[in-house]
Amino acid sequence: MKVLTVLTVVASSILLTLSPAAGAIIMDDDDPGVVMVGQWTLQPETYGGTQEIWVNDSSHWGFGNAEDSFTWQFTGLDNGDYYVYASWKSVDGSSEAVYSVANGPTVTVDQTTTPDSAVFLDVPFGLLGQVTVTDGTASVTLSSSVAYPYADAIALDAVPEPTSLMLLIGACLAIMAMRRRG
């Protein structure tokens, strides 16, 4: 599990990078805490000619059997609300990859498209939803009955406190105003 302490926000073509007190927590597909059930194949970083997977290492590729699943289990988390993100290869992934967030949403993702909700260390991630952690743990499970879901990295990013969010919005608005003035 990696802790990322850089947050990048894009607002009207302005890139603002902040270093929040607590950054995103990212678990890769080969980190401790990952549980694979069924048949998954390790794909090297160069498979499909793409470099968009987390830390350009590898991802796991499933065969789309209904009983196959890939679970990321986070422990030692601070209680609170988190945004949940996933990264995947968009070369030939599953058009119906199902991510189930424990105590949160279940989302069907088209992995043939590039994730576009956030970027962590130059890797695109797609937003799966939000979860409230009350016992220091969170888990996300990927499954698909349609062939070739990709399991790569899951990121949990603490939802900012309203005051932090207001400061961030204010900073973005101030920068946009300065750019318009020339």
CATH code assigned at 146: 2.60.120.260
Higher pLDDT, 39 or 109: 109
Handedness of CA 85, 92, 1, 136 (dihedral sign): positive
Mean pLDDT across the chain: 77
Read off the pLDDT band of 148 (50, 70, 90): confident
Range with lowest mean pLDDT among 11-15, 25-29, 111-115, 160-164: 11-15
| CA–centroid distance for 119 within its chain | 9
DSSP SS3 for 15? strand
Number of domains in the chain: 1
The Cα 145–Cα 43 span in angstroms is 20
pLDDT band at 130 (very low <50, low <70, confident <90, very high): very high
Q: What is the pLDDT of residues 17-71, one digit of tens each?
A: 333 334 789 998 888 899 988 877 776 654 444 444 444 455 677 766 777 888 9
- Which of 57-66, 104-113, 165-174 comes out lowest in average pLDDT? 57-66
According to the model, what pLDDT value does residue 150 have?
Answer: 83
Q: Is residue 6 very low, low, confident or very high in pLDDT (cuts 50, 70, 90)?
A: very low
| Whole-structure pTM value | 0.74
Longest dimension (CA), the chain: 58
**Structural domain of 135:** 2-181
